[in-house]
Amino acid sequence: MDGFSPDILVPEHIKAFSAYIPSKPDDVLKQLYGCTRIHRLNNNENALGPPGTACAAIMGFPAVQGSVYPSGDAYHLRGKLAQRFGMHPDQFLAGNGANEVIGFVIKAFCREGDNIITADKTFAVYEWVAEFSGIEARLTPLVDHGFDVSGMLERIDPRTKILFVCNPNNPTGTWWNRETLCGFLDRVGGSALVVVDEAYREFVEDPDFPDGLALVPRYPNLVVFRTFSKMYGLAGLRIGYLAGSREVVDIIRRTCIVYSVNSLAQVAALAALDDEEHVERTLEMVRRGRSFLHRELNGLGLPVISGEGNFLMVRLPMSDSLAYRKLMTRGVMVRAMTGFRFPNWIRVTISQMEAMEAFVEALSSILAEPAQEQGRP
């Protein structure tokens, strides 16, 4: 149609928003950077893969079921989660990864003029989903790399609908203990919803780490996110879930898209929950890898932020984007952190020793280059 321009139909908040550009597939990256193998240390994936129980379920999935729509509400998975955590199935809602359930919650409770509150250096999707939904995202600076209780509370006003807390925080690994989280929930009261994202909770072994699901009966405005992408190695199947009071989850369910979680993901997640051995093997891999990286990075004189989770951050004496490109030519893929408001930092997934050694070797060779090649005068 002559004269048509989509710009006249686009809301102002969408015009101001830039699209997220994902990385290219590994085969394309290998060709682009001239490497024969890529150690993926950029997305906090579990290098051990899915649990054995989930692998068996995936391999046994009948191909003919590919023509049948999945359970629209992840019926069996919700039932198993309820049994495992002593809750009712209707207190759970599955989504196509945690990103989708973030959207469910914001759509359910926010309208134009409302706001959400979170940190300025945390999982960016809370901010992104709010802003491309036309909702203000109020960002609170971290204190000592952690969420600031007072700072978040001070930003609450009558139009605040949701406060998002990532516990432990991605990318810093800091976390609130039970006393801090309960104190925060007590001070928020019933004025807003509090979402606690526990994507990395299975990696925390400290007994003072709070179990968000156990707090739901005490705090009916609490919603907890969890995922099968990290500890359970099902990132490629995209499945996560939220839990809360039945009243709150019933409202959120009105905004969810049925059939968004595919059958294979549901089957794999259902089986993964039984594999405790996989959890222990993953924890041991992370313990060993973290110890190795601490020793080696300290030896290189590099500042490190390392809390809980299967990742840590490293500050470099050069541009993080330049370091990314140089590491890629050596077959190591990390996360450049300028986009997360950490310029000159990279985030590194803790993985198997082969990958950890490859990363340290590649980083050491880059740091040994003349200053001009590091982008420094």
Residue pLDDT, tens place only, 212-255: 999 999 999 999 999 999 999 999 999 999 999 999 999 999 99
The token duo for 94 is 């599955």
Architecture of the domain delimited by 52-272: 3-Layer(aba) Sandwich (3.40)
CA distance linking residue 358 with residue 355, whole number of Å: 5
Tell me the CB-side half-sphere exposure of residue 205, using CA atoms within 13 A: 8
What are the strands, taking DSSP E only, across the chain?
Answer: 39-40, 92-95, 115-119, 136-140, 160-166, 193-197, 222-227, 240-243, 304-305, 311-315, 332-333, 335-336, 345-349
Tell me the CB-side half-sphere exposure of residue 332, using CA atoms within 13 A: 26
Confidence band, pLDDT 50/70/90 cuts, at residue 261: very high
Task: Quote the pLDDT of residue 21.
Answer: 81
pTM of the model as a whole = 0.94
Confidence band, pLDDT 50/70/90 cuts, at residue 178: very high
What percentage of the chain reaches a pLDDT higher than 70? 98
CA distance linking residue 320 with residue 323, whole number of Å: 5
The contacts found for 83-92 with CB under 8 angstroms, 24 or more apart, are: 84/273, 85/213, 85/243, 87/213, 87/216, 87/243, 88/246, 90/246, 90/249, 90/250, 91/216, 91/243, 91/244, 91/245, 91/246, 91/249, 92/241, 92/242, 92/243, 92/249
Is CATH 3.90.1150.10 what the domain over 6-49+277-374 is classified as, yes or no? yes
CA distance linking residue 193 with residue 225, whole number of Å: 13
Q: Which residues in the chain are classed under CATH 3.40.640.10?
A: 52-272
Mean pLDDT of all residues in the chain? 95
Task: Tell me the average pLDDT across 117-146.
Answer: 96
Is residue 325 predicted with pLDDT exceeding 60?
A: yes
Is residue 259 predicted with pLDDT exceeding 60?
A: yes
Task: Tell me the average pLDDT across 147-153.
Answer: 98
Task: Quote the pLDDT of residue 376.
Answer: 63
Task: Quote the pLDDT of residue 371.
Answer: 67
Q: Which residues in the chain are classed under CATH 3.90.1150.10?
A: 6-49+277-374
Task: Tell me the average pLDDT across 26-46.
Answer: 95
7-20, pLDDT tens digit by residue? 778 888 887 777 77
Task: Tell me the average pLDDT across 175-195.
Answer: 97
Give residue for tokens 């984007």. 321
